[in-house]
Amino acid sequence: MIRMSVLYPMTEGATFDHDYYRDHHVPLCGATWHPERVEIDRGLDGPYVAAVHLFFPTLEAMQGAMAGEGTAGVLADVANYTTINPVLQVSEVA
């Protein structure tokens, strides 16, 4: 199982609309990339204000999803909810 995590570091002066993220952006990601599972974190304490974790059966499945034409629309939507530059982490779930 592969987990792609998109992490949003707490950044002074930055904005993040959690409602838009939960209600619009993450569903757009799911509809575009078709992960097996999605988890959203709302940071309470620590270095990240939010994160999303998308689970794929294989690395090839994740890479294929990211290469799809809908990815450009997902990336363009980021400006609708945050001014933070996200950090991407791809992991193998042990």
Tell me the average pLDDT of the chain: 97
Across the beta sheet with 2-9, the strand order is 37-42, 48-56, 2-9, 87-92
Average pLDDT over residues 38-59: 97
pTM: 0.93
Model pLDDT, residue 20: 98
Residue whose entry in the numeric block shows the structure tokens 């499945």:
61
CATH architecture assignment, domain 2-92: 2-Layer Sandwich (3.30)
